[in-house]
Amino acid sequence: MAWASVLAGWRYGGLLSRESIEGRAMAIFDNHFHLRPTGLGIEAAKQFERAGGTALMLTHSPYDDIPIRRAEDYEAAYARTLAMARQVREATQVNVFVALGPYPVDLLPLRESLGIDGATDVLRRGIDLAARHVQEHEAVALGEVGRPHFPVEGDVRQASNEVLQCAMGAARECGCAVILHTEDPTRETFAEFAAMADRAGLPRERVVKHHSTPLTRQEDNLGVVPSILAKEDLVLEALKGGTGFLLETDYIDDPRRPGAVLGPATVPRKTKTWIEKGILTDRAASMIHQELPERTYGLRIG
């Protein structure tokens, strides 16, 4: 399906620019945000909104009470993420965009029960199901997909790379972006992702590396988009390469780990602080929160 038709059908397009900084309305976008009914849930989104947030990427993550034993189980899990998005839209003015995909670590328990080939097939089919939701305009990206962020055995890494290559191919077919969960990237890792995107025919600027190191220079990331945690030291380093990065909290909404990774209000709160301190100009903030998300995800913003 052509991206233009997906964009035309997307019912929630456009970031709302409601928060005013120095008298000028700005969009403030968190690129990686999880919500769970067992956590703060809608209250987390309200905290984000009260701090000045206007839009977020609600990224699918596993639920303890929906174990993945077969591909069809992803439908129940995706349905919950989509339901959370609807609830946020009903309770707030935050624009919620959704990314769906099989969590890479799902491969490990599936390997124990199905073997590596069976496990790989389940995740591939999970990608197909997620892609269908993109085609039906319920999601705008595939993610987070990729490989475990910790060392794994060779067969797991190979299978994970096969699934990631499949996800990039599906993203090309849907005309959407793909959000990667992997180990912290180096220049060599970015080169690997760029080569995978090229093989899939997916534009590199449609590949987002979630929880990225601050490698923002084009010669370092080769056109893959880094998404940086909203921490001042990381942002200062990232800005040395320009404004070609997104900001995220990776808020996981786990009651056992309150505030992890960063709290839900962090991106809008820190953005305003950095503008006041002169770390970010209004122009830089606009690039990070509005112009780059627009290019990356194909969303109509503002």
Q: Are 40 and 264 in contact (CB under 8 A)?
A: yes
Kindly report the CATH number that applies to the domain delimited by 3-9+17-297.
3.20.20.140
On whether the CB atoms of residues 98 and 140 are closer than 8 A, the answer is yes
Average pLDDT, the chain: 92
* % of the chain surpassing 90 pLDDT: 88
pTM of the model: 0.92
pLDDT at 216: 98
pLDDT at 14: 41
CA dist., res. 129 & res. 119, Å (int): 16
DSSP 97: E
CA–CA separation, 112 vs 55, rounded Å? 39
Q: Containing H/E element for 208?
A: strand 207-209
| CA nearest to 32, candidates 250, 213, 245 | 250
pLDDT at position 19 over 50: no
Q: What is the mean pLDDT of residues 174-191?
A: 98
pLDDT at 233: 98
* pLDDT tens column, 62-115: 999 999 999 999 999 999 999 999 999 999 999 999 999 999 999 999 999 999
One-letter amino acid at 166 equals C
Per-residue pLDDT tens digits for 226-264: 999 999 999 999 999 999 999 999 999 998 887 789 999
Distance CA 297, CA 207 (A): 9
Per residue in 110-123, pLDDT (tens digit) is 999 999 999 999 99
pLDDT for 42 = 97
- More confident: 24 or 86: 86
Q: What pLDDT is attached to residue 301?
A: 62
Non-local (6+) Cβ contacts of 3 within 8 A are 174, 175, 176, 298
Least confident of 42-51, 129-138, 258-267: 258-267
Q: Which of 245, 231, 260, 290 is nearest to 27 (CA)?
A: 290
